[in-house]
Amino acid sequence: MKKIVTSIFLALSCLGTVLAQGHRFQLIIKGKQFPAKSKIFVRYIVDRKLTIDSINLVSNEVIYKGEIIEPTQVMLFYSQDGASFFNRKGKPMERLTFYVDPLEAKTQIDIKSPFESSQVHGSKLQIAYKQYQDYLKAYEEQLIAQQSKRADLYQAKSRDESALNQIALEIEKIEAQRKNAQRNFITDNPANYFSLLALQEVAGYDDDVHATESLFVKLSPRLKETAIGRKLEADIELAKKLGIGQPALDFAQMTPEGKELKLSDFKGKYLLLDFWASWCGPCRAENPNLVKAYQKFKGAKFEILGVSLDKPGKKDNWMKAIEQDGLTWPQVSDLNGWQNQAAQLYGIQAIPQNYLISPEGKIVGINLKGIKLMQKLEELLK
């Protein structure tokens, strides 16, 4: 059960039939006096396939056409000089995010300055998106501020571990408040399409599968029958098999040196099974906490097994991150990214994520980070 992007609310009639086939959509982009070389880059995902396209702003009104299967998040990036994502120098492109709806094909964007303030006129879905953005705005602003502080500290030559821990606690507090607000929203809006997305997001880091299931049961039958609803239901069933007290699922993968390691090789010790990747910022920010825990508790009774979701051809990045972050415990990967066999087995779709496994091979902790991990290990290994 894993984390996805932002959620919004709205009930969509006939949604189950919409998901069965592709639907065309149009973006009508209007503005005044665009610079001669200016472009807008379009980014969206359909059936897990990323589309990146470009629009030449050759007149005061241009039209972009695409195809979607279900309500879809679209991002527009404004490039005044026409340079793409990969050829930019200096600050990143301005971005505008909104949703398009298969049931209401046309969406109009009136370009303003700054680009983020452009007005989007379209479906009820887009109106709902704006409403939900406002609903979570205070939490998002607090998180962005703390994450920015964390990034500055993480990149400093001499890390202030105490300050990093304090920020981690603050982020955890804000995220908990945000998730409680989302849970209340789901309860109040059980027939709204984006309550489903909100539940999927909340479920991503929630170790209480029964609380998640109780919210899922409240959703309307129409939402449960969508592709996302069916996937979430399957994730709930998987989470039941991976809950506290359940046996950990065995797997085998290769170390950077080419040696095969199995989860079951560590039976007899408490094992922290840690899913991460070199490209994952939050994972790299959490690694100092794991290093501290390992230095304190490593030995005959405790071990960590890192499973990297690094991608094909990125072994060097994986090994460099291991060295840079001082990860001296065993590491494995099949270098298949999100399709990592162990990650698939454990239903991992958001990282960092971990499972604490007892010497008998049963799960005794889920998603323990920072101080919570230290406290749990103190309790078990004192």
Residues 163-189 have pLDDT tens digits of: 888 888 899 899 889 999 999 989 988
pLDDT at 1: 38
In the predicted model, is pLDDT for residue 351 greater than 70?
Answer: yes
In the predicted model, is pLDDT for residue 272 greater than 70?
Answer: yes
pTM (2 decimals)? 0.61
In the predicted model, is pLDDT for residue 4 greater than 80?
Answer: no
CATH of domain 15-121: 2.60.40
pLDDT at 225: 87
pLDDT at 168: 86
Task: Tell me how far apart the alpha carbons of residues 57 and 40 are, in angstroms, rounded to a whole number.
Answer: 7
Res. 91 pLDDT band, cuts 50 70 90: low
Domain assignments of the chain as residue spans, ordered by start? 15-121, 127-241, 252-381
pLDDT at 214: 93
- C-alpha atoms less than 13 angstroms from C-alpha of 140 in its C-beta half-sphere: 10
Query: What is the arithmetic mean of pLDDT over 200-219?
Result: 83
Query: Can you list the positions of beta strands (E) in 57-132?
Result: 61-68, 72-79, 94-100, 106-110, 119-121
Task: Tell me how far apart the alpha carbons of residues 340 and 21 are, in angstroms, rounded to a whole number.
Answer: 29
Res. 276 pLDDT band, cuts 50 70 90: very high
Low-confidence winner among 109-118, 204-213, 238-247 (lowest mean pLDDT): 204-213
Task: Tell me how far apart the alpha carbons of residues 41 and 51 are, in angstroms, rounded to a whole number.
Answer: 10
**Mean pLDDT of the residues in the chain:** 86
CATH 3.40.30.10 fits 252-381, yes or no: yes
